[in-house]
Structures are given as structure tokens and as C-alpha cells.
A and B are shown apart, each in its own frame.
Chain A
Amino acid sequence: GAVVSQHPSWVICKSGTSVKIECRSLDFQATTMFWYRQFPKQSLMLMATSNEGSKATYEQGVEKDKFLINHASLTLSTLTVTSAHPEDSSFYICSARGLIKEAFFGQGTRLTVV
């Protein structure tokens, strides 16, 4: 299947700092990328949908000013958690889709805010 690379795999940051997570489609052009959040032992909750070159569409209840999403090219989307707090600690995972039915996922990023 297609390869989606997410970096970093895990990150620990201090409360109040910002963290950037990258999602790259390595062997296809991703017209759409999705960002999910997963709390321990829970399902994936969609945070936002981003299309290349346009503003992201956020799900209800997701603060767009806190979770900045940039999809500047067909192979890269970034999620920046601004002014992170301990309650932002979670597993963040992206998926990318091109002209195929399936959405392929990155490896996920485990964020811990201390």
C-alpha cells in the first residue's frame, strides 16, 4: 500500500510551548489529509480535514487557533499544537488520500506535555 510518514513518533514538551507534527505522503500525491486525535483506549476522533492549498476544515469543538494545520503541498501537511497544555497530551495520527478509495495512515505521534 501507499506510504505515509509521520514525524516525530513521540515528543515531550513543556507546558506553554508549541509542537509541530509533520505528515508526508511518500509515494503519492495527497489531495486531502486528515488529522485525528486518539485518547488512550478510545477511538479516533477527527480533528480537521485539509485540502492542499486551502484552509483546513475543523470539526466542531476543535479550536482552530490552537491546532494550526497547514497543507502547503500535495505531499506535506503539518499540525502545530500551540501553547500546549497537559490536557493536549494524546496520540495524534494523520491520514492521507489521493485518487484512491483507501486512506493510508501515518505511524502516529504520541505527545506528552509536562
Chain B
Amino acid sequence: AQKITQTQPGMFVQEKEAVTLDCTYDTSDPSYGLFWYKQPSSGEMIFLIYQGSYDQQNATEGRYSLNFQKARKSANLVISASQLGDSAMYFCAMREGLDNTDKLIFGTGTRLQVFP
């Protein structure tokens, strides 16, 4: 079974609008972490936001917020006030356990295109 599922291969959004990128996960481990990364065409992976399974509040980092719904096992990324520079691939990832040596499992990604 897929550990991380991103059902949207591509998304379009107009500049200055908000957009939600979907991510659902599957784990039986009570301790886990959820990550979102941005990958522009240059290839680098840029860390955006992190949510721990025990965190009570949804994570926020500037224009990025994570809509964490634990019971539904979803961790959607919300980008507010989209900018042209937000156009990129976005990957959701999960780490099971809280040990720093645990690996990240990535979803298949969503390509976001922001148009003027």
C-alpha cells in the first residue's frame, strides 16, 4: 500500500489566490512526522514545513500552512497569496518514528503552475 498519496498530478492557480495541495498518508506508527518540500526546475529540494504527529496545532511557515487532520490521515499544504515563483513540483513526505535516522518516504508529487 502507498504510504504517501498525492492524488493531484498537476494544479493551476492564479497569482494572489490560495491553493491547497492534497496529501494523505498511511501508517500504524503513533509517532511520525510529515514534511512538504518544493522542487523547482533546478532540482534542489527546498524544505517548506513540518508537522509532528503529536503537534496540537497546525504548522505554519509564512505563506505555507499545513492542514493536519489526523483522524483522516491527511496533511494538505495550503499556499496563500500564490506567487509566480511558487511554480514548481511539491512533494509530501513522511518519516515514521521520531528517530533522526529514520528515512523519508515521498509521494509522487504535484506540479503547481501559477499564472498571472
A:25-52 near B, CB below 8 Å: 31-32, 34, 42-46, 49, 51
B100 at the interface (CB under 8 A from A): yes
Instruction: Write out the residue numbers on chain A whose beta carbons fall within 8 Å of the beta carbon of B91.
Output: 43-44
Instruction: Write out the residue numbers on chain B whose beta carbons fall within 8 Å of the beta carbon of A32.
Output: 100-101
Would B104 and A1 count as touching, CB distance under 8 A?
Answer: no
Given contacts A31-B100, A44-B91, A95-B104, contact A102 B50 (CB under 8 A): yes
Count CB-based A-B contacts (< 8 Å).
58
State which of A101, A105, A108 has its C-beta within 8 Å of the C-beta of B33. Answer: A101
Would B33 and A43 count as touching, CB distance under 8 A?
Answer: no
A31→B100 CA distance, assembly (Å): 9
Instruction: Write out the residue numbers on chain A whose beta carbons fall within 8 Å of the beta carbon of B33.
Output: 101
Would B103 and A107 count as touching, CB distance under 8 A?
Answer: no
State which of A49, A91, A104, A106 has its C-beta within 8 Å of the C-beta of B103. Answer: A49
A33→B91 CA distance, assembly (Å): 19
Given contacts A43-B106, A44-B106, contact A105 B45 (CB under 8 A): yes
B42 at the interface (CB under 8 A from A): yes
Q: B interface vs A, CB < 8 Å?
A: 33, 35, 37, 42-47, 50, 52, 91, 100-101, 103-109
